[in-house]
Structure 1
């Protein structure tokens, strides 16, 4: 499904294995003179489109279609699109998806419940280099972050910050005026509370949780 448009228009690729959704989007966008739509129903289909057309002004990828392996596939397609924006279209957007895709440079996350008028605006917005995330998803993300309570005590957080700097137990003890044995005890407690088995994993998990 490729709708022709003048060379000055935007060339958009939307990949989704729900053909009905693609047909509905196509019916709307075929009446938009400056947007040319290409579609694919799998990642293999996306790769075939690249062979024919090269890079696109914007690509929207369905998170759940065949061949889509989360961030790994997203990054592969983004690299192939040579710096042009790549976003996500999904039927079940969550604050975690928003956070993960934001971290990896997605142009936006578009719920499949988005109205066709809003979709057209979102496409223009992302193609112009802006980032599109529905306000309700951003509010949910902020609420989840505000509701998170650290399982660590203030002393454990102090030790964790020193761990994140790569210091051994002896240096942490000197910095916090604590015995090395006490530091070992705190490190063990930190690992247990964060559900990890060693100090390296503790630091990684702490960064994921925005504790350090």
Structure 2
């Protein structure tokens, strides 16, 4: 007796940061019964929905070109048939969270979520569930990133290190560029991740791009 293999979940990830697209596409496409397609802006995402959709789940970046806030999310929901669409962002305001809930979107995925959690979140929403990170429900926007304190929570040295992280340089290369010991660079990277609420250097760069720090 043969058992039919279920069709893979088809996920669309739309974001204007290439690092986000590469990370999400590589991770999601390596999950069992899942494949990911990407788009760099809202117009491209809508075109993909028209030509290749509807997708089992679309993750739509809040700040990419064409979005106009959550208005772009609504457009994506209208174009993806009756399939779920969720917002992809780093630190949504209470108003954005309220809009997402009010319009009936599938939820919100934080770019700082661990990859292990990401797979579960994607499957949950693709199955028809609604997902909102608990920290957004309990405390509103993610305050741990200190975004209300100043335009940047980072020191001048950390900002310099962050710029080099954004260029894809290793700790050793950053140390050579700045005449710092590699251990000192590691300390700065750890501090940057902590201040930006990121779990690793890649997520730190992604969050920093969303904040306009690099």
**Separation of aligned partners in 2, 1:13 and 1:85:** 11
1:88 aligns with 2:87: yes
1:138-189 per-residue CA deviation (whole Å, 9 max, x = no partner) reads 0014xxxxxxxxxxxxxxxxxxxxxxxxxxxxxxxxxxxxxxxxxxxxxxxx
Alignment correspondent of 1:109? 108
In the other structure, the counterpart of 1:60 is 59
User: Residue 34 of structure 1 aligns with which residue?
Assistant: 33
Per the TM alignment, residue 7 of structure 1 is displaced from its structure 2 partner at its CA by: 6.4
Deviation at 1:85, TM superposition (A): 0.5
SS of residue matched to 1:70: coil
DSSP-derived class of the 2:75 partner: helix
- Tell me the SS of whatever aligns to 1:88: strand
Return the alpha-carbon distance in structure 2 between the equivalents of residues 52 and 112 of structure 1: 27
Q: Which residue of 2 aligns with 1:152?
A: none
Give ranges in structure 2 of 5+ residues lacking alignment: 141-214
- Aligned CA-pair RMSD: 1.7
- CA distance in 2 between counterparts of 1:96 and 1:71 reads 10
CA distance in 2, matches of 1:110, 1:65: 15
C-alpha distance in 2 between matches for 1:102 and 1:15: 20
Displacement, 1:29? 1.7
- Paired with 2:103 and 2:50, the residues of 1 have a C-alpha distance of 25
**TM-score if structure 2 supplies the norm length?**
0.60
Q: Partner residue of 2:119?
A: 120
Q: In structure 1, how many angstroms separate the alpha carbons of the residues matched to 2:89 and 2:71?
A: 17
State whether residues 12 and 38 of structure 1, in contact with CA within 8 Å, keep that contact through their aligned partners in structure 2.
yes
Corresponding residue of 1:69 = 68
Q: Does 1:47 align with 2:42?
A: no
The answer for the alignment partner of 1:99 in structure 2 is 98
Residue 174 of structure 1 corresponds to: none
For structure 1, the 5+ residue unaligned runs are 1-5, 142-212
Q: Which residue is equivalent to 1:203? A: none
* 1:53 shift after superposition: 0.6
Q: Which has the higher contact order (CA 8 A, sep 6+)?
A: 2
> Which stretches of structure 1, 4 residues or more, deviate above 3 A after TM superposition?
none
| Cα shift readout 1:12-31 (whole Å, capped 9, x = no counterpart) | 10100011011111221222
* Structure possessing the higher radius of gyration over alpha carbons: 1
